[in-house]
Structure 1
Amino acid sequence: MSPGHRTISYADLVIDRFRDWPLTECRADCPPGRALALRGLQIVHLHREGLAEVLLTQEVISRLGTALTASGRVDLPTVTGWVQVRLDTDGDLFLLQSLVSLAIQANDPGTGPLRRTITTCPLYVTERDSGPSRRRHRRVVRRRANTPA
């Protein structure tokens, strides 16, 4: 499937592919983007076109990391339990489907309470650490404005 012939985004294809799975579409905890959650735990993030992040857990990554990186389609950016999958072809969507199946098995909270993702996804960490935060800057400005002259 070449990008010039595609009329639907990969994020939409991913959401559609998992429509009948035990996953719920939601807004990513680390914006921007969409996510798929398993009983409240986000296990898939779709922050930008052509890239999906899957929460596999460190245990699964330590077992399969060599094979995942050898595929040339998966990156293991940090020690967070998340992997990044490039989405360019139908084969990549099938790879993503397999990884999401593993993520469900590795992260299934059973019938326990809803929970939030405990580890920050790699894209969010990279963007957060790439420069000064606007929120931090605004706080500094407010403090200076409230400081007596």
Structure 2
Amino acid sequence: MRPGNRPISYADLVIDRFQNWPLTEARVQHPPGRALALHGLQVLHLHRDDLAEVFLTGPVIGRLDTALSASGRVDVFADTGWVQVHLDTEGDLFLLQSLVSLAIQANDPASHPVRPAVTDCPASRCHTAAPKAPAWAVTRARRTRSPGSSAGGRTNRRRPEPSSAVGMS
């Protein structure tokens, strides 16, 4: 437990686990979240406490696609070179550690002088601004119910944008 009785998140455990690796903590390219970089190249993103993104590169994903998909813990985005790892257990942290090790090997400038082109991570698709509802739609929704009324316990409030719903620094 952390000070104030707040449990440690998987994202915090990930950062702690990679303290002695050749990675530096960085500001994630598509906030919110944290990133770990290898010589300036972001190879790990933590946008949420229970999800990590690893930049493996297309060739590595091509070799491991079947095994990664079969694990049930990894979502593969072969067109981007990124994978998402769901963090729910200690085993998921070990899987992530193995994948980050592969990412370091695949992106190490000492062994690969020409770095692969980095594409946006999968979460960046969720962090783009969603189109806002037209004013008439919001007005109509307000008129259909009296102030303070709700249907099935729900209110007429709009959901927050995905980027503001996550409370990571």
TM-score, normalised relative to structure 2: 0.68
TM alignment of 1:67-146, pairs within 5 A:
67-77=67-77, 79-110=79-110, 118-128=118-128, 131-132=130-131
Q: Indicate the residue corresponding to 2:37 in structure 1.
A: 37
What is the root-mean-square deviation in Å for CA atoms of aligned residues? 2.4
Q: Indicate the residue corresponding to 2:50 in structure 1.
A: 50
1:18 to partner: Cα distance: 0.3
CA distance in 2, matches of 1:121, 1:88: 21
Counterpart residue identity of residue 131, structure 1: A
1:110 to partner: Cα distance: 2.4
CA distance in 2, matches of 1:55, 1:72: 18
Counterpart residue identity of residue 80, structure 2: T
Identity over the aligned pairs, expressed in percent? 69
Q: Which one has a larger percent helix, Structure 1 or Structure 2? A: 1
Residues 61 and 78 in structure 2, CA contact (< 8 A), matched pair in contact too = no
CA distance in 2, matches of 1:44, 1:65: 18
Runs of 4+ with deviation above 4 angstroms: none
TM-score, normalised relative to structure 1: 0.77
Q: Indicate the residue corresponding to 1:65 in structure 2.
A: 65
Instruction: Note the residue ranges of structure 1 that are not aligned, 5 or more in a row.
Output: 1-5, 134-149
CA distance in 2, matches of 1:10, 1:43: 17
CA distance in 1, matches of 2:77, 2:38: 23
Residues 51 and 86 in structure 1, CA contact (< 8 A), matched pair in contact too = yes
Q: Indicate the residue corresponding to 1:146 in structure 2.
A: none
Instruction: Note the residue ranges of structure 2 that are not aligned, 5 or more in a row.
Output: 1-5, 133-169
Residues 11 and 46 in structure 1, CA contact (< 8 A), matched pair in contact too = yes
Counterpart residue identity of residue 108, structure 1: D
Q: Indicate the residue corresponding to 1:140 in structure 2.
A: none
What SS is found at the alignment partner of 2:84? strand
Q: Indicate the residue corresponding to 2:11 in structure 1.
A: 11
1:78 to partner: Cα distance: 5.2
